Structure 1
Amino acid sequence: MKFGNDLRIKTATSWFPPDHETVEDAIAAGKLDAPDADKIGVTQLPVSTQWSGPEMAVAAARDAMSRAGWSPSKVGLVLHTWIYHQGHDMWSPPHFVANEVGNPEAQSYGVQQGCNGGALALQLAAMHLTADRHLGAALVTTGDRFEPPGMDRWTSDYGLGFGDAGTAALLHRGDAEPDDYALVSMATATDAQFELMMRHGDDFSPAPLWHDGFIDLRRPKKSYLAEYGKKKFETVAGRNIRKVIADSLHDAGLRPDDPRIKYIALPRLGASLLDSIYGPVINELLKAEALRFGAATGHLGCGDFLANLADLRDHASLQPGDIALVIGGGAAWTWACAVVQVPQEHATARDL
């Protein structure tokens, strides 16, 4: 899906709580052994002892609004996405975000797409802006707090450590002011047969946390893999990662070896998952450097995508005209890839 060079990501931000747990803490507590720690591949995880997921999303959104120098009234659409408990039951966190940011009249709704939610919300916001010329700007937020007793950030899934954070991005049509990126194109791919992996062996339940008392993603995955093995999933995942990269580049009018493509930012998954599933495809397809930003954050759920946009700006040596790819995925299963370009001038990115 090509959006054109006038669709801009004004800015992207991440907000992390000040506290953390180190991998040494997890090993000392008996949650991990050394091989498990190597598979996760992090030094620490941010931990919120006070703020809920939506409150961290609001903090990231306020930072984004301040960075942009925007009035809240400019934002007519708020999309919020999450994967875990938001602090209240039967409640609408997107409306909370809109109200707390300062525009309670903004159209607000949630996007549920697992850990790919940040990417899909960004794509939906771009589609809204493309279709509705009266919409001035859109805010996308994510926020999750992976606290016990419902989750254990170190052991609820294989090869992942879950970090608490809020993220935000502001989208609009370009004007005379600076922007972080032009959102040139995005592509997605889905194979829904693997939804079974997240519930294998369990009946449908009448209430949350019915089967285990906490979210244990390892147990249904273990049951699924015992019956079906992992080769099929790895093959399909690799094919779809290749597809979203190729499709997003095609829509942007780029070849994989275009020298302007400097980086591809990988999702903040465990080191073993990135090495086994993402790495082989990317190494074969692209000359760009693959960046991993999750060593001190772990997996942020659907926050990976927007956090990577912020870290590309702040920690990668991108120059005007340079291009980066951001890739993500989420159970069960959808993958996404965005092509972004640093604008050459305040109002004009290089034509692709």
Structure 2
Amino acid sequence: MRWQNLYIAGLGAYLPEQVFTAEQAVADGLYGEGEREANGYRAVRVASDEETGPVMAAAAGRQAVERSGIAAEDFAVTVHASVGHQGQDVWTPAHYVQNETVGGHGAAFEVRQGSNSGLAATEVAASWIAARPEHKAALVTTGDAFKLPYWDRWKADDQVVYGDGAGAVVLSTEGGFLKVRSTASHGDPSLEPLYRGSDAWTPAPFYNGEAVDLAGRKKAWLTRNEGGYDEAIARINKNFGAVLTQALADADTELGDTQWFIHANMSKTIVEWGFHGALGLDPDSTVYDWGLDYAHMGGGDQIIGLNRLVETGRPKPGDLIVTAGAGIGFMWTVAVLEVLETPSW
């Protein structure tokens, strides 16, 4: 999708103060030393009981709205994205975030698209305000706190460690410091069973009282599908390559002509092989090393990472930023952004 009048006017992030290092997790018997060395994560942030996903998302949202300078009444839609439990069952966290940031007006939606949730929500919000000329702005938030007994941040997935945090982005049709040149999304539902695992359904959330076991689900599926691993990897690579190519073409650029790349805070093996190696990226053009102190923050890595990059002041007017996400299901989203100015914050 080639955008004409779409901008990012504000960014925000909320990261809990409590730090839990991977080294301490190994010492406590919560994480394996082999996994620590292979995955490369150094630490996570851990939310308090009061810092639920929506609470952190609202804090990030208030920061983004304040930085944007856009009046609350100009926000036509709030889209909240997440991966894990949001603090209450049978509840609408998007409305909580809306009420705590821009007030009780406009529409509010929730997007749950795995690790691609933040970017998917951004494209949904962009489409909403682009289709309604009278609507000027949209707020997108992400927020997750990965807590036992439901979610074991160190063991849920053998290649990923989950950290708590939230991010927010304000989209505007009237101006901002980043211009959204293009976005592209693509899905491949044939890969859906990979994270569903067995064919057994459960009648209620957290029914058996056991923590989420994504690694076990993958293993169960791969055990029943000989050659499934190679086929899944091939499909993932093909689809990601296609959506990246589409977004770059719609932005009238090529990857080699961009200056920055924001990807998820995945493990060292995934990042070095799937991003830096496959795409020829310079790690200094990313926030990868910074992300190793926060780990994978659900669907928020790209927005939180973009906020971090802008806060460093390194991107200069004219620079192009590519941000890419992939979520189980599967779905990929890529956005290409042009830096118009360095914000004062």
Q: Which TM-score applies when normalising by structure 1?
A: 0.91
Contact 2:9–2:67 (Cα < 8 Å) also in 1: no
Question: How far did residue 235 of structure 1 move?
Answer: 1.3
1:23-59 CA-partner distances (Å, limit 9, x unpaired)? 0111012122222012332211000013111000000
Report the CA distance shift for 1:86/1:345 in structure 2 as closer, same or farther (over 3 A). closer
Contact 1:308–1:326 (Cα < 8 Å) also in 2: no
Question: How far did residue 290 of structure 1 move?
Answer: 4.4
Q: Please give the root-mean-square deviation of Cα atoms over the aligned residues, in Å.
A: 2.0
Report the CA distance shift for 1:298/1:134 in structure 2 as closer, same or farther (over 3 A). same
Instruction: Specify the alignment match of 1:349 in structure 2.
Output: none
Identity among equivalent positions (%) equals: 28
Instruction: Specify the alignment match of 2:203 in structure 1.
Output: 206
1:28-39 correspondence to structure 2 within 5 Å: 28-39=27-38
Q: Determine the C-alpha separation between the residues in 1 that align with 2:38 and 2:325.
A: 19
Which deviates further from its counterpart, 20-29 or 209-218? Answer: 209-218
Name the amino acid aligned to 1:334: M
Q: Please say if 1:334 is aligned against 2:331.
A: yes
Name the amino acid aligned to 1:30: G
Contact 2:319–2:338 (Cα < 8 Å) also in 1: yes
Q: Determine the C-alpha separation between the residues in 1 that align with 2:127 and 2:207.
A: 38
Q: Determine the C-alpha separation between the residues in 2 that align with 1:290 and 1:16.
A: 19
1:147-184 CA-partner distances (Å, limit 9, x unpaired)? 11101111111211111111110000134xxx331111
Unaligned runs of 5+ in 1: 347-352
Instruction: Specify the alignment match of 1:85 in structure 2.
Output: 85
Contact 2:11–2:67 (Cα < 8 Å) also in 1: no
Report the CA distance shift for 1:163/1:332 in structure 2 as closer, same or farther (over 3 A). same
Contact 1:323–1:342 (Cα < 8 Å) also in 2: yes
SS of residue paired to 1:257: helix
Q: Please say if 1:295 is aligned against 2:292.
A: yes
SS of residue paired to 2:172: strand
Instruction: Specify the alignment match of 1:324 in structure 2.
Output: 321
Instruction: Specify the alignment match of 1:222 in structure 2.
Output: 219
1:231-270 correspondence to structure 2 within 5 Å: 231-258=230-257, 261-270=258-267
Instruction: Specify the alignment match of 2:163 in structure 1.
Output: 163
Equivalences, count: 339
Q: Determine the C-alpha separation between the residues in 1 that align with 2:62 and 2:263.
A: 26
Q: Determine the C-alpha separation between the residues in 2 that align with 1:344 and 1:220.
A: 45
Q: Determine the C-alpha separation between the residues in 2 that align with 1:270 and 1:287.
A: 14
Q: Determine the C-alpha separation between the residues in 1 that align with 2:190 and 2:37.
A: 30
SS of residue paired to 2:280: helix
1:290-336 CA-partner distances (Å, limit 9, x unpaired)? 44141111001111121122122123621101101001111021111
Q: Determine the C-alpha separation between the residues in 2 that align with 1:52 and 1:211.
A: 23
Which deviates further from its counterpart, 320-329 or 27-36? Answer: 27-36
Instruction: Specify the alignment match of 1:103 in structure 2.
Output: 103
Q: Please say if 1:119 is aligned against 2:114.
A: no
Q: Determine the C-alpha separation between the residues in 1 that align with 2:342 and 2:27.
A: 52
1:9-158 correspondence to structure 2 within 5 Å: 9-49=8-48, 50-158=50-158
Unaligned runs of 5+ in 2: none
SS of residue paired to 1:10: strand
Contact 2:262–2:287 (Cα < 8 Å) also in 1: yes
1:110-150 CA-partner distances (Å, limit 9, x unpaired)? 11211111001100111112110011200000111101110
